[in-house]
Structure 1
Amino acid sequence: MALSSLVQTPWKGKAKALDQDFEDLDPVITYRHLHAQNLGVRDPLRVIALCDSDAFYAACEMVRLGVDKDTPLVVLQWDAMIAINYPARKYGISRLKKYNLKELKEKHPDLMIVHVATYKEGEKEPGYWDDVDTKTHKVSLDHYRRESMKIAAMFKECLPGCETEKASIDEAFFDFTKCVREIILERYPYLKQVPLDAPDGVDTRLPPPPPIAWDGLGHVIPVNPAPAGEGNAEGTPSNQEASASTRTDEASDPPCTWHDVALSIGAELINKARQQVYEKLGYSTSAGIARNKFLAKLTASYKKPNSQSILRNAAIPKYLRPLPFQKIRFLGGKLGTAIAKEFEASTVGDLLSISLEEMQRKFGEDSIWIYEVLRGIDRSEVKEKSAVNKSMLASKNLPTPITDASEGLHWIRVLAAELALRLNEARETNPNLWPKSIVLHARRGYEASRSKQAPFPFTREVTVDTIAAAGDKLWKELVGSELATKVTSVQLAFTGVEGAEAGQRSIEGFLTSAQSAKRQRGDDTDIRHVSLDDSLADQGNDIATSWTNGPSGDRSSDAHVPSFVCSRCGKKIILPSTTAPSVYEEGHLEALRREHDDFHFAQDLAKESAGGLVISGPSKSRTGNGKPVSGASKGSPKKKKRRKDAPENVGIEKFFRKP
Structure 2
Amino acid sequence: MSSSTQPSSRGSSPPSGALPLRRSQFTYRNLSQMASYNTSCPLRVIAHIDLDCFYAQAEMVRLGVAEDQPLAVQQWQGLIAVNYPARAYGIGRMCTVTEAKKLCPNLITQHVATWREGEDKWAYRDDAAENIATDKVSLDPYRLESRRILATIKDHLPSHMQKVEKASIDEVFLDLSAHVHAVLLERFPEIARPPPSGDPSEPLPMPSVSALDWQADALVDLDDEHAEFDDPDWDDVAMLVASEIVRNVRAAIRDKLRYTCAAGIARNKLLSKLGSAHRKPNQQTVIRNRAVWHFLSGFKFTKFRNLGGKLGEQVSQIFNTESVEELLVVPIEQLKLKLGDDTGVWVHNTLRGIDMSEVSPRTQIKSMLSAKSFRPSINTVDQATRWLRIFVADIFARLVEEGVLENRRRPKTINLHHRHGVQTQGQTRSRSSPIPQGRSLDEETLFGLANTLLNQIIQDGHVWPCSNLSLSVGGFEDGISGNMGIASFLLRGEEAQALTDGPRTRAESKLKEQSQPPEKRRRIDDGGIQRFLTRKETPSPLDPIDALAEDNGAETSRVRETKLDSDAPSLPDEGPVLQANDETAIGGHLCARCGACLESSESLQSHQDWHFAKDLQEEEHGRLGFGNQASTTAASPHSGGRRSGPAAPKRPGRPKKTERGQQKLSFG
Q: TM-score, normalised by structure 2?
A: 0.65
Residue of structure 2 in register with 1:100 after alignment: 98
CA separation of 1:120/1:357 partners in 2, compared to 1, >3 Å: closer, same or farther? same
Residue of structure 1 in register with 2:125 after alignment: 129
Alpha-carbon distance in 2 for matches of 1:85, 1:583: 74
Residue of structure 1 in register with 2:442 after alignment: 462
1:407-464 Cα distance to aligned partner (Å, 9 max, x none): 101110111110121111222895443333333221223223322324346665734x
CA separation of 1:443/1:581 partners in 2, compared to 1, >3 Å: closer, same or farther? farther
CA separation of 1:429/1:149 partners in 2, compared to 1, >3 Å: closer, same or farther? farther
Residue of structure 1 in register with 2:353 after alignment: 376
Residue of structure 2 in register with 1:479 after alignment: 458
| Alignment RMSD | 3.5
Q: Is the 8 A contact 1:254 1:314 kept in 2?
A: no
Among residues 262, 281, 296, which one is paired with 1:320 in the alignment? 296
Question: How do 1:513-552 residues align onto structure 2 when only pairs under 5 Å count?
Answer: none
Alpha-carbon distance in 1 for matches of 2:488, 2:173: 54
Q: Is the 8 A contact 1:438 1:493 kept in 2?
A: yes
CA separation of 1:452/1:60 partners in 2, compared to 1, >3 Å: closer, same or farther? same
Alpha-carbon distance in 1 for matches of 2:294, 2:473: 48
Among residues 114, 117, 138, which one is paired with 2:110 in the alignment? 114
Question: How do 1:208-247 residues align onto structure 2 when only pairs under 5 Å count?
Answer: 208-209=206-207, 210-223=209-222
Residue of structure 2 in register with 1:172 after alignment: 172
CA separation of 1:253/1:443 partners in 2, compared to 1, >3 Å: closer, same or farther? farther
1:225-278 Cα distance to aligned partner (Å, 9 max, x none): 9xxxxxxxxxxxxxxxxxxxxxxx995665422101000100000000100110
Gap runs ≥5 in structure 2: 1-22, 503-519, 525-668
CA separation of 1:268/1:140 partners in 2, compared to 1, >3 Å: closer, same or farther? same
CA separation of 1:219/1:473 partners in 2, compared to 1, >3 Å: closer, same or farther? same
Residue of structure 2 in register with 1:188 after alignment: 188
Question: How do 1:273-292 residues align onto structure 2 when only pairs under 5 Å count?
Answer: 273-292=249-268
Q: How far is 1:327 from its partner?
A: 1.8
Question: How do 1:242-253 residues align onto structure 2 when only pairs under 5 Å count?
Answer: none
Q: Match for 1:291: what amino acid?
A: R
Alpha-carbon distance in 2 for matches of 1:457, 1:72: 49
1:35 paired with 2:32, answer yes
1:450 paired with 2:427, answer no
Alpha-carbon distance in 2 for matches of 1:551, 1:267: 65
1:142-164 Cα distance to aligned partner (Å, 9 max, x none): 01001000000000010122311
Q: Is the 8 A contact 1:217 1:271 kept in 2?
A: no
Q: Secondary structure at the match of 1:203?
A: coil
CA separation of 1:422/1:334 partners in 2, compared to 1, >3 Å: closer, same or farther? closer
Q: Is the 8 A contact 2:24 2:203 kept in 1?
A: no
Q: How far is 1:481 from its partner?
A: 9.7
Among residues 81, 84, 90, which one is paired with 2:82 in the alignment? 84
Alpha-carbon distance in 1 for matches of 2:137, 2:386: 15
Q: Match for 1:345: what amino acid?
A: T
CA separation of 1:437/1:109 partners in 2, compared to 1, >3 Å: closer, same or farther? same
Q: Match for 2:157: what amino acid?
A: L
Residue of structure 1 in register with 2:564 after alignment: none
Gap runs ≥5 in structure 1: 1-25, 226-248, 514-542, 559-579, 585-659
Q: Match for 1:220: what amino acid?
A: L
Among residues 454, 474, 489, which one is paired with 1:495 in the alignment? 474
Among residues 378, 393, 401, which one is paired with 2:377 in the alignment? 401
Alpha-carbon distance in 1 for matches of 2:272, 2:146: 20
Alpha-carbon distance in 1 for matches of 2:287, 2:263: 11
Among residues 54, 57, 60, which one is paired with 2:55 in the alignment? 57
CA separation of 1:301/1:556 partners in 2, compared to 1, >3 Å: closer, same or farther? farther
Among residues 258, 274, 277, which one is paired with 1:298 in the alignment? 274
Q: Is the 8 A contact 1:62 1:68 kept in 2?
A: yes
1:159 paired with 2:157, answer yes
Q: Secondary structure at the match of 2:264?
A: strand
Relative CO higher for 1 or 2, CA cutoff 8 Å, sep ≥ 6? 1
Q: Secondary structure at the match of 1:341?
A: helix
Q: Secondary structure at the match of 2:372?
A: strand
Q: How far is 1:547 from its partner?
A: 9.2
Q: Match for 2:61: what amino acid?
A: V
CA separation of 1:556/1:61 partners in 2, compared to 1, >3 Å: closer, same or farther? farther
Alpha-carbon distance in 2 for matches of 1:27, 1:450: 60
Q: TM-score, normalised by structure 1?
A: 0.66
Q: Is the 8 A contact 2:369 2:472 kept in 1?
A: yes
Q: Match for 1:175: what amino acid?
A: D
Q: Secondary structure at the match of 1:280?
A: helix
Q: How far is 1:400 from its partner?
A: 2.0
1:427 paired with 2:403, answer yes
1:622-646 Cα distance to aligned partner (Å, 9 max, x none): xxxxxxxxxxxxxxxxxxxxxxxxx
1:439 paired with 2:419, answer no
Alpha-carbon distance in 2 for matches of 1:360, 1:251: 35
Q: How far is 1:386 from its partner?
A: 4.7
1:2-46 Cα distance to aligned partner (Å, 9 max, x none): xxxxxxxxxxxxxxxxxxxxxxxx993112322344261111110
Residue of structure 2 in register with 1:629 after alignment: none
Q: Is the 8 A contact 2:46 2:177 kept in 1?
A: yes
Q: Is the 8 A contact 1:405 1:480 kept in 2?
A: no
CA separation of 1:176/1:47 partners in 2, compared to 1, >3 Å: closer, same or farther? same
Q: Match for 1:339: what amino acid?
A: V
Alpha-carbon distance in 2 for matches of 1:189, 1:309: 29
CA separation of 1:151/1:220 partners in 2, compared to 1, >3 Å: closer, same or farther? same
Q: Is the 8 A contact 1:294 1:378 kept in 2?
A: yes
1:392 paired with 2:372, answer no
Q: Match for 2:470: what amino acid?
A: Q
Q: How far is 1:71 from its partner?
A: 1.4
Alpha-carbon distance in 1 for matches of 2:405, 2:354: 39
Alpha-carbon distance in 2 for matches of 1:354, 1:58: 42
Q: How far is 1:498 from its partner?
A: 2.7
CA separation of 1:323/1:386 partners in 2, compared to 1, >3 Å: closer, same or farther? closer
Residue of structure 2 in register with 1:609 after alignment: none
Alpha-carbon distance in 2 for matches of 1:257, 1:151: 34
Q: Is the 8 A contact 1:75 1:82 kept in 2?
A: yes
Q: Match for 1:435: what amino acid?
A: P
Alpha-carbon distance in 1 for matches of 2:29, 2:489: 67
1:189-216 Cα distance to aligned partner (Å, 9 max, x none): 12222564x6x84322222222343342
Alpha-carbon distance in 2 for matches of 1:337, 1:433: 40
Bigger Cα displacement from structure 2, 351-360 vs 374-383: 351-360
CA separation of 1:583/1:357 partners in 2, compared to 1, >3 Å: closer, same or farther? farther
Q: Match for 1:79: what amino acid?
A: Q
Size of the aligned set, in residue pairs, is 474
Q: Is the 8 A contact 2:250 2:260 kept in 1?
A: yes
Alpha-carbon distance in 1 for matches of 2:237, 2:151: 28
Q: Match for 2:27: what amino acid?
A: T
Q: Secondary structure at the match of 1:448?
A: strand
Alpha-carbon distance in 2 for matches of 1:31, 1:144: 45
Q: Secondary structure at the match of 1:29?
A: strand
CA separation of 1:279/1:105 partners in 2, compared to 1, >3 Å: closer, same or farther? same
